[in-house]
Amino acid sequence: MSNRRLLACTCGQTVPVEPRQAGGETTCACGAKLLIPPLRQLRDLPEEVAASEKPGGSWGLSQGLTSLLVVVAVLLAATAGFFRLTEPAKPVPFDFSNWQTESKAGIAKMTPDQLWQRWIDVYAPQVGANFQVYKSVEDQIATETIARHRKLEGYLGIGAAIFAAMAGILFAMFKGSRPG
């Protein structure tokens, strides 16, 4: 353990001084001459911490942990963004007149058994529902997928915010306790 003390210069730098230099003089890197206080006062000065004695372990750990939290936060946010981007297109509201026109054109090309199948599959349920609600299976899947994506995006966003907040708190904590 070094027992050198740090003598502060007016320029903001510190000069390490040995106890045996007490009462003497030293020169700062800026060129200013500094009076070294007597031993009694020298003891009150901050101790020089040698490079190998620096509490680098905990600093490194906090820094590592903060970086990890930031990485997790970024990953969660990126995943949320990815889900948003890969979200299926919103189903367009059903246009009955357009559907009728398209159906007429389609029906003209159909064979009788295709027509019958079409009736069973598409028209009969619509008649039953008075043509009020028309939703294709694709539309329903898309709507459900969007809902699922939105929910997941919400969770991911909250997760990202929590991790970012934790990283911020940790950063502030270790920055405050950091020597120097």
- Nearer to Zn ion by Cβ, of 14 and 66: the residue is 14
Measure the CA–CA gap between 82 and 92, rounded to whole angstroms: 23
- Nearer to Zn ion by Cβ, of 28 and 65: the residue is 28
Residue with tokens 């007016």: 10
Measure the CA–CA gap between 55 and 52, rounded to whole angstroms: 8
| Shortest CB 13 distance to Zn ion, Å | 5
| Shortest CB 5 distance to Zn ion, Å | 16
| Shortest CB 35 distance to Zn ion, Å | 13
- Nearer to Zn ion by Cβ, of 29 and 61: the residue is 29
Three-state DSSP state, 43:
coil
Phi, psi of 170 (to 5 degrees): -60, -40
Positions that interact with Zn ion (CB under 5 A): 9, 11, 13, 28, 30, 32
CB 3 within 8 A of CB 17: no
| Shortest CB 19 distance to Zn ion, Å | 21
- Nearer to Zn ion by Cβ, of 32 and 115: the residue is 32
